[in-house]
Amino acid sequence: ALEERVCKVIRTVSGERGRSTLESGSRLFEEGYIDSFGLLELLTELEKTFGVSFLDEDLTKENFATVAALCQAIRSKQSERTP
pLDDT in tens, 23-72: 899 999 998 889 888 899 999 999 999 999 999 999 999 999 999 999 99
Count, residues in the chain: 83
Instruction: Enumerate residues 6+ apart whose C-beta is below 8 A from 41.
Output: 13
pLDDT at 20: 63
Beta-ladder partners of 27: 66
73 neighbors 63 (Cβ within 8 angstroms): yes
Residue among 22, 2, 8 at smallest CA distance from 71: 2
What pLDDT band is residue 19 in, cutting at 50, 70 and 90?
Answer: low
The pTM for the full model equals 0.88
Q: Which one is predicted more confidently, 83 or 49?
A: 49
Amino acid occupying residue 33? Y
What mean pLDDT is predicted for residues 2-12? 93
Three-state DSSP at 26 gives coil
